[in-house]
Structure formats: C-alpha cells, structure tokens
Amino acid sequence: MKIPLSIISNVHDWLYSMMPEGAASIVEMVLIGIVYLTLFAVVGLFLVLLERKVAAWFQLRLGPNRVGPFGLLQTMADALKLVSKELTSTDRIDKFLYNLAPYFVIITALTALAVLPFSKQFQAFDLNIGLFFLVAVSSMGVIGILLGGWSSNNKYALIGAMRSGIQTISYELSVGLSILTMVLLTGSLQLSEIIEVQRTGGWLILQGHIPAVIAFMIFMIAGTAETNRAPFDLVEAESELGAGFHTEYSGMKFAYFFLAEFINMFIIASIAVVIFFGGWLSPFGITEGITWFPEVLWFLIKVLIIIFLMMWFRWTFPRLRVDQLLTLEWKYLLPINLVNIVIMAIMIWLGWII
C-alpha cells in the first residue's frame, strides 16, 4: 500500500480552479517548499536527539532525560534557547559574507533534500541526472563553510575553513567514484530508475557482488568525512580550534551550521539506501513485500540504520591527524576505488553481473 496522497491531489486541483495557471504553480511550489522546510527542521531536531542518546548509550550514561518524557523534548528546548540568544559578532568581520555563509549551507542541504525519493510519490524533483545533481549540490556546501571561516576574520575559524576545503575536495573523489561504480551497474543516474532496477533483481549491493560491497564501504568512509564528522572532524577540532569555522557565530546562525551537518548526514545515508539497499522497497521480497507497510517507513528505517552506523563511527574511533586524513584518501581509498570501478566494468562486460 502506498501513502494516500488524495489530499495533495485535491489541493492541486483546488489551486488551479481558483487562480490562473502561473499563479497556482507558484503557490504550489511555495507550499512544497514549506513542507520541505518543516521536514528539514523535524529531521534535524530528531537527529540531534538521536546523536545524544546514541552517545550516552556508547558511554554507558543516561543522556538527555529531564525535558519531556525520557528527555524527548530536550532538542526543542535547545532550539528555543538558540532562537532567543543574541546574535553577537566582532567589529572585524566582513558583514555581508559573514551573514550569507549560514544560509548558503542551509540552502544547499535543502536543495539536495528535495531530490531524494522518500517513496514512489513523495519526491519533489525526479531528475534524469539525479545522482549527478546530488553530488554537485552537496559539494557546494563547503563554499558556505569557507565564507564563514574567512569572513569571521579569526585565525582559528580560517584554519577550520581551509581544512574543510582540503577535506571536501579530497573525499569528493571517493564519493563520486563509489557512486559511479554503481551507476555502471544500473546504467542510469535517475534515482527512481535505480530503485526500479532493484525491484526485480534485488539490492544493488547484492547484484554487484564484491565490487559493490567495496564501493559501499568506501562510500560510507568518504561520506562520513564529507559531513565533517568524527573521526574526520578536523574542521572543528575543539581541542585545537575552539569551534573551527563557526567560532564567531552564535544563536540561530550557529544553529544553521549545526543543523546542516545533521541534514548532510541524512542525505549521505539516503543516497546509500537508494543506490545500495533498494530505496523505499521492502527488504522482505522485493517484488511482493509487506504490502500494508508504507514505503516511506521502509525508506526511513533503512536511513536510520545507516545513520546509526555513522554515529557508531563517531563514538568509537579517535580523531585523525591531518596527515592521516589525507593519507587515507590519496594512498588508500582513491587507488582502491579506481581498481574497483575497473573490476566492476570488466565483470559487467564479461556478463558475470546481469
């Protein structure tokens, strides 16, 4: 069963019957934008709470347990605190770029979110170059970090921003090549088509055999580095840089950077689910499945499992040094990725993978 979307259809018909086509189209896009902004806020707040609960579990402590039942309203309280805080800055900042940077990070994350297929019907844009668009847009978020670090006119913020640029440029190669390995298998960049390929043949991580498993492992490592999360959090590195690129930010501007990190983690996990684990398809019999279970829930359950894996990384491994960070990418992940994509191409050419 699919999620009933008759309400959306009714709103669509009502808008086009009440106003001219151009105006109705604009109003409809505004409404869709509001839906995705709400989703952005809800997902961000939930993942912050989940992070704190998972950290507490790994460290054998309770975690948030005061505000609301079982501490479930703690992130709401934190959000209200950040909204009410004064927006402070120094006199030496570049005001225009300083104020622009948080919005740049938020807009790029929100744009990438709009392409993700939560179900067969729940997708704002189903582009025929969906994967290429996701990689391109998500890589632009680093511009906001560079702008924030440079415009703050703070040496610690600048160091953090430059580290972010180096890290993103390096690990983008591994993210892109691991995705390209799976594109060879599907022959399409369109996210909905990639999911449909898995409806009859099973998950791509199983169809592609060992090269697909290697591509998934590299994608998870490089994706975690792309989101600037531990053990790749040299961009912030509290023990060295205070708070890194957002040292001079406070209140909601700081919250924008904070939320964008968690949304980017959600996007990386969603891409992994789409290209490796069947997207919103049921894992119990891809063609039949449990028909009464909504597709959106299958998608979100898989995404949460991947996100838990990324959080497991954070609370298990110590932070890498800068030289170790670059050595891992350029001496290990990139060569393995190049060999892996050649092996995948040869296996497809020989007909070993159908």
Note the pLDDT of residue 8.
Answer: 59
Has residue 119 been placed in a domain?
yes
Query: CA-to-CA distance for 217 and 208, rounded, in angstroms?
Result: 13
pLDDT over 50 at 316, yes or no: yes
Max Cα separation, the chain? 65
Residue 75 tokens read as 């992130």
In a domain? residue 239: yes
Q: Which residue has the higher pLDDT, 102 or 200?
A: 102
- Contact assessment for residue 185 and residue 348, using Cβ atoms and an 8 Å cutoff: yes
Give per-residue pLDDT as tens, 148-175.
999 998 888 898 899 888 998 899 999 9
Answer whether residue 62 is part of any domain: no
Token digits for 96?
């225009």
Residue 173 sits in which domain range? 88-349
Q: Dihedral of CA 320/321/322/327: which sign?
A: negative
Residue 252 CA to residue 164 CA, distance in Å, equals 21
Q: Which helix (H) or strand (E) holds 232?
A: none
Residue 281: inside a domain, yes or no?
yes
SS3 state at 55: helix
| pLDDT value at 37 more than 50 | yes
Mean pLDDT of 35-40: 87
Write down the pLDDT at residue 290. 53
Give the pLDDT confidence of 251-279 residue by residue, as tens digits.
Answer: 888 888 888 889 999 999 999 999 999 88
User: How many domains in the chain?
Assistant: 1
Q: How confident is the model at residue 60 (pLDDT cuts 50, 70, 90)?
A: very high
161 φ/ψ angles, rounded to the nearest 5 degrees:
-65, -40
Could you tell me if residue 49 is inside a domain? no
Residue 191 in tokens = 């996210």
**pLDDT tens column, 11-29:** 666 777 777 777 778 887 8
If we measure between CA atoms, which residue out of 103, 116, 54 comes closest to residue 295? 116
Q: Does the residue 230 lie in any domain?
A: yes
pTM for the full model? 0.90
Would you state the pLDDT for residue 235?
A: 82
Assigned domain for 140 exists: yes
The H-or-E segment that residue 26 falls in is helix 21-58
C-alpha distances in Å from residue 243, one per residue of 173, 246, 263: 27, 6, 19
56 in any annotated domain: no
Indicate if the pLDDT at residue 285 is higher than 60: no
Per-residue confidence at 229, pLDDT binned at 50, 70, 90?
Answer: confident
